[in-house]
Amino acid sequence: MGSDIFEKCFSFHAANKLKKMGYYPYYHRVESEQGPEITVEGEKRIVVCSNNYLGLANHPKVIEASATAAKRYGTSCTGSRLLNGTNDLHEKVERKFASFVGKENAILFTTGHHSNLGALSCLVSKSEVFITDKLDHASIIDGCRLSFGQMVRFRHNDMNDLERQLIKYKDKGMLIIVDGIFSMEGDIANFPEISKLAKKYRARVFIDEAHSLGVIGANGRGTGEHFNMEADVDILMATASKSMASIGGFIASRSEVIDYIKHNARSIIFTASLPPACVGAIDASLDLIQQEPERRVKLMNTAKKMKEAFKSLGFNTNNSESPIIPLTVGADIMAFKMWRMLFDEGVFASPVVTPAVPEGQAIIRTSYMATHTDDHLNFILEKFKKVGKACGIIA
Ligand SMILES: Cc1ncc(COP(=O)(O)O)c(C=O)c1O
């Protein structure tokens, strides 16, 4: 007789161990909207772990557009995009997004995760190869795993290692996939070199702009615009769950590529479409990203100020170039302990531990919003200074 598949659950004690120590950082109950100040389990805390980069999740125009869409179209589309789940609002935001990022066409999935699953798994076939950065987001890895294609990895942002992989597989069809801004590290993909190598070896390039859309580029159009080479991005993916203050995921590219994905990506065919309220929020957010560029300017100024301040306190901010600033703290247990101490001091941060980072290089990931005030930022710095000193991370 085989073993009971529940055995692994009965012997899973990692979460309870952390709870007993008072260090459990997950699934805490937020009782307010997602702004710089939130209520977590009855107490006000300053947030330093949100992806609401432009602060649009509480913008009156976004809330109004979301409510209006729900009133007009109802709460659910009750079916897949392929069959009964496409309405005129989905098509409107697809056209708006494609035009914003300068691509021929775009398709809207129900989440960012679904867009990576669906697009990647259908684009690379059995005899072809995914060339991925070692620190690419988990949803990219999941998309590659769902394909019959081969997946190889190059060292993070290491162009010599990328070229080694391209040479190795040069006789096959290849897709290079990178995060624009890496989600934990906050650094930016070396797109100029990636693009040069892609052309040399006839590979295509896919950029996941989850953390970069609305954030970098003169108009917030992401990594391609940041490097002034938008036309060289073959496929642009962006999630709506961060700067676009909603949920959903876009893939934008040439019309033929979008048409192929529309009819072959299992994660759009076999799931219900994005509800109208979420599409309405995206519609308004896409307008505001373009109409209120001062949000992006404020966000990047905040990122610069915080990076410099953390560095002068003695923290290791790694190679962050964005509103994501990771602070290296060492062992996983130190990240959990610091998370708890910060929480008790009124700061809500994120510990990131193995396997998301290499052993011994746990971080407290901090991220910023255009709506953080100087008072919020000074409060955050004061508390990090106190906790960092108490834990021996800074002198
Ligand atoms: C780089 C990256 N890609 C994709 C996703 C998935 O997006 P979503 O959470 O909107 O499904 C995330 C979300 O955390 C991400 O950080």
**pLDDT at position 55, please?**
97
Centre of ligand 1 to C-alpha 382, Å, is 30
Beta carbon of 195 within 6 Å of any ligand 1 atom: no
Q: Is the pTM of this model over 0.85?
A: yes
Active site residue 114: no
CATH 3.90.1150.10 fits 15-54+293-390, yes or no: yes
Active site residue 61: no
**pLDDT at position 3, please?**
93
Beta carbon of 210 within 6 Å of any ligand 1 atom: yes
Residue 69 CA: distances (Å) to CA of 63, 244, 253, 276, 277: 10, 16, 27, 5, 5
How far, in Å, CA of 89 to CA of 86, rounded? Answer: 8
Beta carbon of 267 within 6 Å of any ligand 1 atom: no
Q: How many CB atoms lie within 10 A of CB 155?
A: 14
276 burial type by CB count under 10 A (0-12 exposed, 13-18 middle, 19+ buried): buried
Tell me, rounded to whole angstroms, the distance of Cα 354 from its chain centroid.
Answer: 18
Q: Which residue ranges does the chain devote to CATH 3.40.640.10?
A: 59-291
Contacts with 204 (C-beta within 8 Å, 6 or more apart), sequence order:
174, 175, 176, 198, 234, 235
**pLDDT at position 339, please?**
98
| CATH code that applies to domain 59-291 | 3.40.640.10
Tell me, rounded to whole angstroms, the distance of Cα 358 from its chain centroid.
Answer: 19
Beta carbon of 118 within 6 Å of any ligand 1 atom: no
Beta carbon of 113 within 6 Å of any ligand 1 atom: yes
Beta carbon of 105 within 6 Å of any ligand 1 atom: no
**pLDDT at position 173, please?**
98
Pocket test for ligand 1, best of 52, 137, 223 (most atoms within 8 A of CB): 137
Pocket test for ligand 1, best of 113, 243, 352 (most atoms within 8 A of CB): 113
Protein residue with least CA distance to atom 16, ligand 1 = 183
State which ligand 1 atom lies nearest to the alpha carbon of 114.
11
pLDDT < 70 stretches in the chain:
none
> pLDDT tens digits for 259-268?
999 999 999 9
Active site residue 172: no
Q: Which residue ranges does the chain devote to CATH 3.90.1150.10?
A: 15-54+293-390
Pairing of strands 43-47, 37-40: antiparallel
- β-strand partners of 111: none
How far, in Å, CA of 71 to CA of 68, rounded? Answer: 5
31 burial type by CB count under 10 A (0-12 exposed, 13-18 middle, 19+ buried): exposed
